[in-house]
Amino acid sequence: MEHLVNKSVMRQLNGKTVAVIGPGGQQKLRHYEAMKLWGVRTVIVCSELDPTPNATYADDVIVVHGMYNHRDDEKNAKNILDAINHGHLRLDGVLTLWEDCAPLAARVAFALGLPGVSPLAASIAKSKLEIHRVLARPWATAQGTRLHVDTRALNSESDLEVAIEEIGLPAIIKLEHGSSAAAVVPVYTPAEARNNWSRILRTLRLEEDWPGIGLGFGPRLVLSELLKGTEHDVEIVLWKGEQITAFVTDNGPTRHPSCAESSAVMPSIMSGATRTLLVDSAMEACLRIGLVTGVFNIELINTLDGPRVIDVNGRMGGFYIRDWVLEIWNYDLLEAAALCCIGIRPELPASEPRKYITGAMLLPSVHGTWLSDPDNRRLLRSVASSKEEAILVQFEENIHSHELVDEPWGNLAIGSQTSSSAVRSLLELWDVLGLRNYDPNIAQLLSGFKG
Residue 142: band (very low, low, confident or very high) from pLDDT cuts 50, 70, 90: very low
pLDDT mean over 440-447: 94
pLDDT for res 2 = 46
pLDDT mean over 275-282: 96
Residue 381 sits in the same domain as residue 243 = yes
Residue 256 sits in the same domain as residue 300 = yes
pLDDT for res 220 = 96
Residue 261 sits in the same domain as residue 218 = no
Residue 52: band (very low, low, confident or very high) from pLDDT cuts 50, 70, 90: confident
CATH number at residue 237: 3.30.470.20
Residue 258 sits in the same domain as residue 402 = yes
Spatial separation of the C-alpha atoms in residues 237 and 408, rounded to whole Å: 26
CATH number at residue 51: 3.40.50.20
- The residues, ordered by sequence, that sit 6+ positions from 158 with a Cβ below 8 Å of its Cβ are none
Residue 216 belongs to what H/E stretch? none
pLDDT for res 351 = 75
pLDDT per residue over 85-121, tens digit each?
A: 999 999 999 999 999 999 999 999 999 999 999 999 9
pLDDT at 174 over 80: yes
Spatial separation of the C-alpha atoms in residues 425 and 419, rounded to whole Å: 10
Residue 256 sits in the same domain as residue 327 = yes
Instruction: Give 266's strand partners.
Output: 357
Residue 231 belongs to what H/E stretch? strand 230-239
CATH number at residue 214: 3.30.1490.20
pTM over 0.85: yes
Residue 206 sits in the same domain as residue 344 = no
- Is the residue at 296 inside a domain? yes
Residue 411: band (very low, low, confident or very high) from pLDDT cuts 50, 70, 90: very high
Last residue of a domain, one of 225, 241, 270: 225
Please report which residue ranges of 290-373 form alpha helices under DSSP H: 321-329, 333-341, 364-371
User: Which among 420, 407, 306, 397 has a CA at the least distance from the CA of 361?
Assistant: 407
pLDDT at 140 over 60: no
32 phi/psi in degrees, rounded to 5: -70, -30
pLDDT for res 7 = 74
pLDDT for res 363 = 95
Residue 250 sits in the same domain as residue 311 = yes
Residue 141 belongs to what H/E stretch? none
Give first-to-last CA distance, the chain, whole Å. 25
- Is the residue at 141 inside a domain? no
Last residue of a domain, one of 86, 114, 142: 114
Spatial separation of the C-alpha atoms in residues 368 and 431, rounded to whole Å: 17
Q: Over the chain, what is the mean pLDDT?
A: 93
Residue 435 sits in the same domain as residue 289 = yes
Residue 171 sits in the same domain as residue 301 = no
**CA triplet 148, 151, 156: central angle to 5 degrees?**
170
Residue 296 sits in the same domain as residue 380 = yes
Residue 295 sits in the same domain as residue 362 = yes
pLDDT mean over 122-144: 85
Residue 81: band (very low, low, confident or very high) from pLDDT cuts 50, 70, 90: very high
Please give the residue range of the domain that contains residue 59: 7-114
- Is the residue at 132 inside a domain? no
Residue 138: band (very low, low, confident or very high) from pLDDT cuts 50, 70, 90: confident
- Is the residue at 242 inside a domain? yes
pLDDT mean over 364-383: 94
Spatial separation of the C-alpha atoms in residues 12 and 338, rounded to whole Å: 10
- Is the residue at 413 inside a domain? yes
- Please tell me the total count of domains within the chain: 3
pLDDT at 1 over 50: no
pLDDT at 9 over 80: no
Percent of the chain with pLDDT over 70: 97
Last residue of a domain, one of 56, 86, 114: 114
pLDDT mean over 44-52: 88
Cβ neighbourhood burial of 240 (10 Å; 0-12, 13-18, 19+): exposed
Low-confidence winner among 29-38, 148-157, 271-280 (lowest mean pLDDT): 29-38
Residue 234 sits in the same domain as residue 219 = no
- Is the residue at 24 inside a domain? yes
Low-confidence winner among 26-35, 109-118, 246-255, 309-318 (lowest mean pLDDT): 26-35
Q: Between residues 404 and 400, which one has the greater pLDDT?
A: 404
Integer CA distances (angstroms), 330 to 3, 5, 247, 315, 323, in order? 6, 9, 12, 20, 9
SS3 417: coil
**CA triplet 127, 133, 135: central angle to 5 degrees?**
100
E-assigned strand segments in 8-167:
17-21, 41-46, 60-63, 93-95, 151-154
* DSSP symbols for 26-48: HHHHHHHHHHHHTT-EEEEEE-T
pLDDT mean over 414-434: 96
CB crowding 342-352: b at 16 or more within 10 Å, else e? bebebbebeee
- Is the residue at 134 inside a domain? no
Residue 47: band (very low, low, confident or very high) from pLDDT cuts 50, 70, 90: very high
pLDDT per residue over 312-371, tens digit each?
A: 999 999 999 999 999 999 999 999 999 999 999 998 876 789 999 999 999 999 999 999
Radius of gyration of the chain (CA): 21
- Is the residue at 140 inside a domain? no
